[in-house]
Structure formats: structure tokens, C-alpha cells
Amino acid sequence: MKIIASNFKTNHTRKSTQAFCKALEGFLEKRNFPHKIAVFPPATALLEDSFKTFQIGAQNAYFTNNGSFTGEIGLEQLREFNIQTLLIGHSERRGILGESQTMCTEKFAFFKQQNFEIFYCIGESLEIKKQGLQSTLDFLDSQLQGMDLNYPKLILAYEPIWAIGTGVSASLEEITTIHTHLKQKLDKIPLLYGGSVKPSNVKEILEINGVDGVLIGSASWEISSFLEILNHVP
């Protein structure tokens, strides 16, 4: 079984998310799709996690039940939608919004205690990539610090920052090298690849040994493109 996840980022409204999810549910029910699907809408477009064939997850949440954290959502808000799936550590939250490794570990620890399924993202910048393979591997290892790699509801997503939203995916050789290294640490933890995944390359990426699924951005925002991706899942 593969894991196919769509990260809407700051795209879609509640209305368009409802239409997307209705079409996705119809497709999956007709196909009896054997793989795990997760959809991560923006906070204002969250829907109740009550679909039969896929999960609704949150792109972000603060490590609190509720409180004085302007602009954030906490456990209380997620529970209203019966959501038990969360993205943590996406490079855009780290790089653009300044989330530190310490904040990532605090989020992880809090939502682990709440028994959430956690999609945890790691990935290197182009600057680090240019320093060579060992620098890349050391950096990725540093992003695993503070994470309980024995947590049974952890899913790791490797997303090289230089491949996100650029249209340039890592080469099959690069993905194989990184996933082989990470699998030595992760043992049975599912390991996804993300970074310019699209209908034209998803099949060959998923056929790489050690790739247990994909986390998809822009190519999954239109339902037609996402369904085309699903049609290419081996």
C-alpha cells in the first residue's frame, strides 16, 4: 500500500474543497482504490474527517488545546472536525515563517500525546545540496533530532526544498540515495517523497525501492490532475 497525500497550502476555499473531496470520494469508491489517501486543506477550508475513502488532515496547528495564540488553531479546533492527522515541519513553515527545530519537536511531542497521525517533513536547501551528499545527509539527520522514531503513527516526508514548486524533481538516482540512507534509520516508518511530483513522474518515483508514497503540492490542487496522478499509481 502506498500513501498519496495532497497539500493544498494556501489554496482552495471551503466550497472548492467540498467539491474536490466529493469528486475524490466518488472516484475512489468506484475504483476500490487500495492505497491510503490524505488531503490537507488550509485551516479555513477544513472539513470533518468523515470521508470513507480518505483522510482530512491539518497543515499546521499550535501545541495547545486553546489559548491566546493569535492566528493559530489548536486541539480544540481540530477536534471539532474530528481531525487526527497533522503536517509538521514543512519547509515553508520552517523557512518562511521561521519555525525552529525546537518548535517542530514541541509540536510533535504534544500531538503524539494526542495520538495524532503525524506527517513530518524534512528536506535540504539548494545551498546545502551543493555542499555535497554528506552535508545533505547530516542536515537531514539534524532534522530528525527530538523525534520519536518509534512512534507508530509517524510518516516521514522527504522534500528537497530546491524541488518544491520549481517543476524540477530530484532525479531517480538522488531520490534512491536519500531514501536508502533514511530507511536505514527509519526501519518500518513509511517514507514519502515530495517535490514537483506530477502525473508524468509519479509512477517511476513510486517504483523506487524505499519510496512508500508521495506528498504532492501544486499538481494536486486541481481535482483532474490529482485523479490523473492516482491513475498512475502502480
Cα–Cα dist 30/19, whole Å: 17
CB 183 within 8 A of CB 210: yes
**Strands 3-7, 36-40: pairing kind:** parallel
Cα–Cα dist 51/56, whole Å: 8
Cα–Cα dist 230/141, whole Å: 31
Residue 35: what pLDDT?
A: 96
Number of Cα atoms under 13 Å in the Cβ half of residue 180: 9
Tens-level pLDDT at each residue, the chain (234 residues): 999 999 999 999 999 999 999 999 999 999 989 999 999 999 999 999 999 999 999 999 999 999 999 999 999 999 999 999 999 999 999 999 999 999 999 999 999 999 999 999 999 998 999 999 999 999 999 999 999 999 999 999 999 998 877 777 789 999 999 999 999 988 789 999 999 999 999 999 999 999 999 999 999 999 999 999 999 998
Rounded to the nearest 5 degrees, what angle is found at the Cα of 188, between the Cα atoms of 232 and 197?
Answer: 30
Residue 234: what pLDDT?
A: 87
What residues are annotated to the active site?
90, 159
Starting at the edge strand found earlier in the chain, the sheet holding 85-88 runs 55-56, 36-40, 3-7, 213-216, 191-193, 154-158, 117-122, 85-88
Q: Please state, in angstroms and as integers, the Cα–Cα distance from residue 16 to each residue in 155, 225, 228, following that order.
A: 27, 15, 18
The single-letter DSSP state of residue 67 is S
Rounded to the nearest 5 degrees, what angle is found at the Cα of 161, between the Cα atoms of 206 and 132?
Answer: 90
Residue 187: what pLDDT?
A: 79
Residue 207: what pLDDT?
A: 97
Residue 32: what pLDDT?
A: 87
